Amino acid sequence: MAVEDRNGVLHGKYELGRHLGHGTFAKVYHARNLHTGKNVAMKVVGKEKVIKVGMMEQVKREISVMKMVQHPNIVKLDEVLASKTKIYFAMELVRGGELFEKIAKGKLKEDVARNYFQQLISAVDFCHSRGVYHRDLKPENLLLDEEGNLKVSDFGLSAFSDHLRQDGLLHTTCGTPAYVAPEVIGKKGYDGAKADIWSCGVILYVLLAGFLPFQDDNIMAMYRKIYRGDFKCPPWFSSDARRLVTKLLDPNPNSRISISKIMQSSWFKKSSIPKRLETEEDAFGAKCKETETLNAFHIISLSEGFDLSPLFEEKKREEREEFKFATTRSASSVISKLEEVGKSVKFSVKKSDSSVRLQGMECGRKGKLGIAAEIFAMNPSFLMVEVRKSSGDTLEYNQFCSKELRPALKDIVWTSA
């Protein structure tokens, strides 16, 4: 149990400082890790208040989600401590304030809005690949660091894919009214990913316009506008921006644009911001920039094509949930090969410029098997591919890898001469 002493030191480890802000159930303080000197934001939640309103599950969910989603555009959770009366979240300190504060001053230039939107979509795509749906995306939950990088925060209302009912839909109404998708208001069950995409559409509109697309003093009248998708783009929106916003704010979730299509849209791709393949820091913590050179360990560990990390790990191969390999082939040929494997075993395939998701159609011991492959450029002619299980049973995943995936990838895997 964590205990705060008279000097404001928590668990003998964190020195609590000034108050940074507060919400309904939490207060946030500046804190310093006395062991490492690292500054953090300490979110303090009162147990009694949370239990009283039945929010304990929500707090537990936020902890498990934030441990699971580690991405450069998501606020990082360092650790969780607890006392008899409080829960303490030691989180990444994001010093640039809320994106909301920037919008409050007026609309943003299109290239600036695009930069923030690209980072938002990168974070949301990552969450969805982990079966996590945020469900309360809004500018107040988007923080900025000192370099202006966007960080998604507040996963208190998020849902896992295992919260889906038998119809494959979520059924809890939540979120902030102006940013909520029409199908969520309708209470008929909704796809968490599509609801998040709608919220991203409202955010993009607000970034470009400086005001909300759906506004009315009467909340029911506002809900009617949302339900009908009744909004107008201001005249200063470019034709490409107008087209994308209209596809994002499609009131029909079945025809609403997907994340892979957002990434392929001309407006999204127009910027000089480096593409995900070249710069993104992935879930495994490897920053893959185009200019990065391979060190000796990379070369040795990949010299037989597939990685040698099992030599350094306690887990047996049949318990492992990921592997990586290097290739000198192009990203498109890697994607084609993975797509070919997926289709040969009748898996559904979703792809973007730098990733492929394979999903089995049949339920195994722990649901449908899901496999995700992410591609990173180590240098212009050398790629690293990380393959991991995203859902389903680990044993089934390993059997699939040994019988189907590894044999099929043999001809594109790089091996030293």
CATH number at residue 176: 1.10.510.10
User: What's the one-letter identity of residue 139?
Assistant: P
Residues 264 and 288 both lie in one domain: no
The answer as to whether 191 is a domain residue is yes
The answer as to whether 79 is a domain residue is yes
Looking at residue 371, the DSSP 8-state letter turns out to be E
* pLDDT(359) > 60: yes
Q: H helices then E strands: how many in the chain?
A: 15, 15
Q: How confident is the model at residue 277 (pLDDT cuts 50, 70, 90)?
A: very low
Q: How confident is the model at residue 232 (pLDDT cuts 50, 70, 90)?
A: very high
pLDDT at 265: 94
Tell me the whole-structure pTM to 2 decimals: 0.59
pLDDT at 4: 55
Residues 282 and 262 both lie in one domain: no
Whether 125 is a known active-site residue: answer no
* pLDDT(305) > 80: no
Residues 260 and 125 both lie in one domain: yes
Sheet of 355-364: strand order equals: 322-327, 382-391, 367-379, 355-364, 348-351
pLDDT at 7: 62
Instruction: From 57, 92, 127, give the residue that closes a domain.
Output: 92
pLDDT at 206: 94
Q: How far apart are CA 305 and CA 325, in angstroms?
A: 6
Catalytic pick from 125, 136, 282, 307?
136
Residues 265 and 280 both lie in one domain: no
Residue 357 near residue 350, CB atoms below 8 Å: yes
Instruction: Please report the DSSP string for 234-281 in residue order.
Output: -TTS-HHHHHHHHHHT-S-TTTSPPHHHHHHSHHHHTS-SPPHHHH-B
Residues 263 and 288 both lie in one domain: no
Instruction: From 92, 114, 148, give the residue that closes a domain.
Output: 92
The length of the chain is: 417
185-202 pLDDT, tens digit per residue, is 776 667 788 989 999 999
Residues 107 and 228 both lie in one domain: yes
71-117 pLDDT, tens digit per residue, is 889 888 888 888 888 888 888 888 888 888 888 888 999 999 999 99
Residues 44 and 127 both lie in one domain: no
Residue 373 lies in domain:
276-409
Q: How far apart are CA 314 and CA 247, in angstroms?
A: 48
Give the chain's domain count. Answer: 3
Q: How confident is the model at residue 11 (pLDDT cuts 50, 70, 90)?
A: confident
Q: How far apart are CA 363 and CA 366, in angstroms?
A: 7
Average pLDDT in the 299-327 region? 54
- Is 366 one of the annotated binding-site residues? no
The answer as to whether 414 is a domain residue is no
